[in-house]
Amino acid sequence: MSFPAINLRSLPGPEDITRVALPNGVTILTRSNFNSPSVVISGYLTVGSLLESDDKLGLADFTASTLLRGTARRSFQQIYDDLESAAASLGFGGGAHTTSFSGKALAEDLDLLLTLLAEAVRQPLFPPEQVEKLRAQLLTGLSVRAQDTGEMASMAFDEIVYAGHIYSRPDDGYPETIQAIRGEDLVAFHGNNYGPRGMVIAVVGAVHASAVVEKVSAALGDWENPAQPEMPPIPSPAPLTQVVTRKVEIPGKSQSDLILGAAGPARRSPDYLAASLGNSVFGQFGLYGRIGEIIREQMGLAYYIFSNVSGGVGPGPWYISAGVDPENIEKTIALIRKEIGRFVADPVTADELADSQANYVGRLPLSLESNGGVAGGLLSLEHYALGLDYYRRFPGLVQAVTVEEVLEAAQRYLHPDRLGIAIAG
């Protein structure tokens, strides 16, 4: 098979990505694009739910969601009036390892985005009335989650696969833990954990690199927090030794959601790319790969079905997700396990692998077409220490993966008799 012809010089690389590490630990990544009048900022701070206690689960996400509800210099209303008057946007979100942020504006309003970003991370006020409004919204979201078959299956799956591991906990907490969080908890979590060390900010758009470095340095270069902790190390989860099934009853649902799988590779694992390409063959390529063809198209047993390898900082899950008529659950599980057995027993075909390799190479430039896509790509380079030349090397790395390496990765992480199976509905 011939692979898509790509001009590698058009992809982000060392000569057009500027990377500057400030003395206080903030890393700046920037790439100019004067074909667009806009600018995108995106990034993260190294603070997340891994730093929470069990009785205050959801605290990191709660804190992140409150950052723009008022700062020492602006009220909640003033912040959003300033953003709307510039047709700009800015938001925060909490995760396990990081608190992320992203924003967009015309290039002439980059100063506004950086000023608001700096105020939010350095001087949030956590106004009591805004905290209570947000608490009500979070509790409503958790009530909706409790009736969502996909969300509940996902939570049950994490509890099985990551039993006793920090990944078993939901980032958004539980109703009782959100109720237990007080305003002083938000203040303390911010004061103790937010800081510049490990913060990464990517700026992409119609602005020169030298100007970006100057502006980010002015906004964040003097920020210090000596109390800022290191993020805890991520242990390997205990491997499953048998099939473990958990059912979550949600009355009145016509569909059950099914998730089954096991812990997979971390993003920086040497076999991640082989696992990802194998997963494409198994449950992504075309109409969701082998399992989509057999279970949905041929047998008509699933409303949807796909597989995914979600490698991150730690060992993310390799899982299969399906929406199924409750009467077809057992038959669907049996067929999926049969296909896993075939996947780990015999190599994928050369044609199957070549199809997925061509897909990976061809979609790379498409993922980097927009300022937002490039900003997200730059963050991945930094977050997973891939190197500034990674996108130039990527086609060669993909094409070098062999059917034998795919089989080895599949056998390392998946086994039809050692799976977590979660069903909700």
Q: Which residues, in sequence order, are CB contacts of 325 under 8 Å at separation 6+?
A: 254, 255, 256, 301, 303
Using the predicted structure, report yes or no on whether residue 3 has a pLDDT greater than 70.
no
pLDDT band per the 50, 70, 90 thresholds, residue 274:
very high
Most distant CA pair in the chain, distance: 63
Question: Alpha-carbon distance 411 to 31, whole Å?
Answer: 40
Give dist(CA 343, CA 337) in Å, integer: 10
The number of angstroms, rounded, from the C-alpha of 262 to the middle of its chain's C-alpha atoms is 18
Q: Does residue 1 carry a pLDDT above 60? A: no
Q: Which of 270, 272, 308, 276 is nearest to 292 (CA)?
A: 308
Topology of domain 244-424, per CATH? Cytochrome Bc1 Complex; Chain A, domain 1 (3.30.830)
Residues 306 and 321 sit within 8 Å (Cβ to Cβ) = yes
Q: What residue spans in the chain does CATH classification 3.30.830.10 cover? A: 14-220, 244-424
Give me the pLDDT at residue 8, please. 77
Residue 96 neighbours by CB under 8 Å, 6+ apart: 48, 49, 50, 166, 167, 171, 312, 313
Task: Classify residue 72 as exposed, middle or buried by CB count within 10 Å of its CB (0-12, 13-18, 19+).
Answer: exposed
Record the pTM: 0.92
Q: What are residue 71's phi and psi, to 5 degrees?
A: -125, 180
- Judged against a pLDDT cut of 60, whether residue 280 lies above it is answered with yes
Q: Rounded to an integer, what distance in angstroms lies between the CA atom of residue 28 and that of residue 24?
A: 12
Distance separating alpha carbons of residues 208 and 221, to the nearest angstrom: 19
What's the pLDDT tens digit per position in 294-334?
Answer: 999 899 899 999 999 998 999 999 999 999 999 999 999 99
- Mean pLDDT in residue range 2-22: 86
Do residues 199 and 44 make contact, with C-beta atoms less than 8 angstroms apart? Answer: yes
Mean per-residue pLDDT, 122-137:
96
Which DSSP state fits 327?
G
For the domain made up of 14-220, the CATH class stated in words is alpha beta
pLDDT bin (cut points 50, 70, 90) of residue 2 is low
- Cβ neighbourhood burial of 311 (10 Å; 0-12, 13-18, 19+): buried
pLDDT, tens digit, 9 for 90 and up, residues 221-268 = 999 999 999 888 898 999 999 999 999 999 999 999 999 999 999 999
Instruction: Please provide the size of the chain in residues.
Output: 425
Q: d(Cα 282, Cα 276) in Å, to the nearest integer? A: 10
pLDDT on residue 10: 83
